[in-house]
Structure 1
Amino acid sequence: MKPEIWQSGEQGESMAKLEIVFEVPAKPDEIFAAVLLGSLVGTGDGSRLGMQLREEYAYTDEVWADIYNTQNGTICIVFNLYARIKWIREILQISWNILTQMKKELTEREFRAEQKIYIRGADWMLDDSYDMNKNMGILFQTNAWEGWDPEYWKRMYESVSLRQLKELAGRIFTERNRKIYYMLQTE
């Protein structure tokens, strides 16, 4: 099967569906921690990677991220987007640069229960106005999970320790466990 490639109507440039996958071994009880990490590097309006890709490469709005637990015990963070063919190399490089910097920021911080944790570039989900869990000291905006039951998220968050989160972050960003690949694929 050949990749789906087409000419964009306005600029006449070759486009293709691009999938970038970051895969790491993980235990089932770490899925929620992976969701949190994914929200920091995902392609939402407030995330660092999504904002930089959109600002520098002017993609369409059809950009999204998926996080899922596979049957073989890995967690995947998948970035899907429709990209100009000539920019694929740049996309991979900018993605790796941003994730490398975030690894540095995560590992340099002390994860203490009393500490408020802020991640630069993702402060849309961290705010002084709402303390979801005082014991962990991680603060969320009330509207960050609009449409979700706050008590559900509070219970889920209490089940993940800061140590688990730090360990999972370390495994996602280690060279030994890292797998980065991209696919040009058909629908």
Structure 2
Amino acid sequence: MEKKLVKLKNGITFISQKLDNVHSVTISVNFKVGSLYEDQINNGITHLIEHLFFRQWDNLPQKQLYYEMQCMGAEIAAKTFHDYVSFSITVTPDSFIKAFKLITKCLNKFDWTDDIVKIEKEVVYKQIENDYQTFDNWIDSYYFKDTKYEKTIMGTIESVQSISLKDINSWKDKYFCSNNSCVAITGNYSDEDFLTVQNILSQINSSGKLAETIICYPLHFEKRNISNRYSLISNNTDISDITIFFDINKDYNYETVRLLSSILGEGCGSLLSMILRENYNFTDDIYTNLTCYCGFRRLSISFSVNNSDFIESLHHFFKSLVDFRKEISTNDYLTSINFFTKNQLFDLDNSNELNSNYVLCDFVLYPSVISEPIKRKEKYEKITLKDLKKYANDIFIAKNLSLLIQTNLDKKLVKNSIEKMIKTLYMTGCF
């Protein structure tokens, strides 16, 4: 069955897709809110509210909530992002209605008390103290420096301490409401069960309003030069960690950029892996990531090298880009295309992955990315070598390029060496 997307009268965005071939159903309830919507004073309030739901879920205290989840052989998972909050549960089809009734209770109107908030704040303080920053979060903190994205999702102990009970319940009423929500169901359910969940959703009272999407570009987006291109951090090792960013505006369709990045830097047979790892043994691995944000995208390419190889490895990196822009071969295309055409249908075997992808594409980032696997497959199949070459020439240019480098090498030497490479390539008409 094809994916369905409707806007209910009470404001809920309802996404559904029936998958007869799987043995599970994933249900998620999502809200457009996060640290992007906060300020320095209430930073962390969204994440705190995510926690509070598990302390009291509508009329269910924590112990009863956990009991009901575990009797179904499942648990509600929750995650707060910069721009949305997601609650999800995956169950067997026979528990679908029971799980749906349980998770959608978070759409009901209720308030928390001071006692509950005090207990949960202690949990969040400990989480903030023990926070381990992931690599992606670390590079985000530099790429988005001095923007709304720089605020942490959990906030600080000081900001969370200052959040009052009134602030919490007001924030919940404003953002955790029907008009600002998306409910998604993906998996194996009956037509009768579908009608039941539609009826349950339609009985939820309309509340609040849809939050305005926040588009927050990094500083100097597509305007990079020697004065704003670099984030240079000192370390005390003989290894330099390098991340190269490319700014990508919304006019470039996601699928072509995704295929381009795969050919360039994903997998053991990618062009950069073959040159930097296999041919010259500069690095053990190359990590490439194309990230979507509201209004734009970012391609990041990361690798580590010995300081003795720093200059030469970057020379080969930039030379590879120049060669890539000159020619993308049929063989290059064939090494990646099946991952995005044939393999695209793997998503239809995973109710959880499909659910989160629909929410991200059709609710959070809408309308910038195609969500349905079959339609994505069809779009990838239409991409030509000419399309790829045009994108490579448009994207891999100096004004889109910035770097995050952690090294104990002389900062001036690093900057001058890289700028000399860029200037040389620019003078030859390649950059």
Q: TM-score, normalised by structure 1?
A: 0.62
1:179 partner letter: L
How big is each residue's C-alpha offset from its partner over 1:50-76, in whole Å with a ceiling of 9 and x where there is no partner? 121112134234x31111134562x32
Structure 1 segments (4+ residues) deviating >6 Å: 141-144
| 1:69 and 2:280 aligned | no
Residue 147 of structure 1 deviates from its aligned partner by 8.4
Q: Aligned equivalents of 2:392 and 2:326: distance in 1?
A: 10
**Structure 2 CA distance for aligned equivalents of residues 148 and 66 of structure 1:** 20
Higher mean displacement: 33-42 or 165-174: 165-174
The one-letter amino acid paired with 2:277 is R
Structure number with greater Rg is: 2
Unaligned ranges ≥5, structure 1? 7-13, 107-116, 127-139
Secondary structure of the residue aligned to 1:148 is helix
Amino acid at match of 2:394: R
Q: 1:171 aligns with which of 394, 400, 403?
A: 394
Q: How many pairs are equivalent?
A: 150
In 1, are the aligned partners of 2:341 and 2:378 still within 8 Å (CA)?
no
Cα contact 2:242–2:403 (8 A) shared by 1: no
C-alpha distance 71-125 of structure 1, shift in aligned 2 (>3 A): closer
> Is the contact between residue 344 and residue 377 of structure 2 (CA under 8 Å) also seen in structure 1?
no
Q: CA 1:58–1:89 in 2, change beyond 3 Å: closer, same or farther? A: closer
| 1:124 maps to 2:346 | no
Offset at residue 104 of structure 1 (A): 1.1
Distance 1:100 1:67, change over 3 A: same
Match of 1:82 among 300, 304, 315: 304
Deviation at 1:164, TM superposition (A): 5.9
- Structure number having the greater helix percentage: 2
Answer whether contact 1:18 1:184 (CA < 8 A) is retained. Answer: yes
Match of 2:245 in 1: 21
Q: Specify every segment of 5 or more residues in structure 2 that has no aligned partner in the other structure, as ranges.
A: 1-231, 349-371, 408-431
Corresponding residue for residue 98 of structure 1: 320
Higher strand share: 1
Q: Does 1:52 align with 2:275?
A: yes
Q: TM-score, normalising length from structure 2?
A: 0.30
Deviation at 1:166, TM superposition (A): 5.2
2-side partners of 1:144 and 1:91: how far apart?
35
The AA in structure 2 aligned to 1:34 is V
Counterpart for residue 112 of structure 1 = none
Aligned-residue offset at 1:77: 2.0
CA RMSD of aligned residues (A): 3.6
1:156 aligns with 2:156: no
Q: 1:45 Cα deviation (Å)?
A: 0.4
> Does the C-alpha gap of structure 1 residues 165 and 2 become closer, same or farther in structure 2, counting only changes over 3 Å?
closer
Shift in Å at residue 125 of structure 1?
2.9
Deviation at 1:3, TM superposition (A): 3.1
Distance 1:168 1:22 in 2: 12
CA distance in 1: counterparts of 2:378 and 2:345, whole angstroms: 20
Q: Which amino acid aligns with 2:234?
A: P
